[in-house]
Amino acid sequence: MAKKKVGSMKLQVPAGQANPSPPVGPALGQRGINIMEFCKAFNAKTQDMEQGAPCPTVITYYQDKSFTMDIKTPPASYYLKKAAGLKSQGKRNRPRGAEKPGHETVATVSTKQLREIAEAKMKDLNASDVDAAMQIILGSAKSMGIEVRG
């Protein structure tokens, strides 16, 4: 007999750094998911990724308190900030894009870097080839105030 799905939720957890403290613990605990089991499984699956990279994760939980997780690649903005070498600024010391995208440029990336990002994100993007994926990433770069140069 198939497991009965109770629901699903989305969390953004740093790769290899899942722990029972907020926001992970309370979000899982109120749905009856074993927090330590999730943390161990998540950290094991993300151990070969860059530590601390934000990983959007979709957790599907079932009536018997079991769960499955789908870990996606880090957001395009994370890769763009890293490629552009943006330093920390703003609240929480996170690197940020332009205050007025389209009017100011905060950094530049090369088309080679754009292609690498598109190839890394390919499985999570709604694109049929790398060139289409590059256009999606280019749109993200423009909205952050990052210029792409050949």
Q: Are the beta carbons of 146 and 103 closer than 8 angstroms?
A: no
Specify the CATH class of 76-149 in words. mainly alpha
HSE (side-chain half, CA atoms, 13 Å) at 68:
8
CATH number assigned to the domain covering 5-71: 3.30.1550.10
Q: What confidence tens digit (pLDDT) does each residue in 111-137 have?
A: 899 999 999 888 888 888 999 999 999
Evaluate if pTM is beyond 0.85.
no
Q: What confidence tens digit (pLDDT) does each residue in 59-106 have?
A: 999 888 888 999 999 988 888 888 888 765 545 556 666 677 777 777
Residue extents of the structural domains in the chain: 5-71, 76-149
